[in-house]
Amino acid sequence: MGGQREVTTSLDAVRDKNIMQLKKMNTALFPVRYNDKYYADALASGEFTKLAYYSDICVGAIACRLEKKEARVDRVYIMTLGVLAPYRGIGIGTTLLNHVIDLASKTNVAEVYLHVQTNNDDALNFYKKFGFEVTETIENYYMNITPPDCYVLTKFITQSQPPK
């Protein structure tokens, strides 16, 4: 009997050299094809967009867009968060989302928000566990999926105070 190797989850930044990993992940996870602006926004968000690896296999990703007001980042929009089906339920999505929430807090971002299709109960329950709340309902938000309506879920960030 050989010793068992510990399986680790790690996050890696999305850069020009690995953007294809994000594109492949999105193709596997979502029924939508994302345009060049999506990928430009993901790259521009720096540390807010991450690939998740489980035992060195890319199994998930979170992609964000930074929204600025008066030259500082005011809000972070989660464009996509997904984990391949066989790897769900073991904390990878939680790791990705906590990374963004923690980074938002450290960088004094006021809120993190996203859109969720109104019938996606799994996603709604997942985000609510992290303190996201429904702040708006938008009818006919999605063009090619049914139902076309979505909720806007928002988490208002409590700013971390610098040590005294």
Q: What is the phi/psi pair of residue 99, to 5°?
A: -60, -50
Which spans in the chain are helix H? 19-29, 36-44, 92-106, 121-128
Measure the N-to-C terminal CA separation of the chain; round to a whole number of Å.
Answer: 53
53 belongs to the catalytic site: no
107 CB-near residues (< 8 Å, 6+ apart)? 73
User: CA torsion 98→102→104→106, rounded to 10°?
Assistant: -170
99 belongs to the catalytic site: no
Q: Which of 129, 161, 144, 142 is nearest to 153 (CA)?
A: 129
Among residues 38, 39, 54, 77, which one is catalytic? 77
Among residues 38, 115, 127, 151, which one is catalytic? 115
Distance CA 147, CA 149 (A): 6
Q: Which residues are catalytic?
A: 77, 115
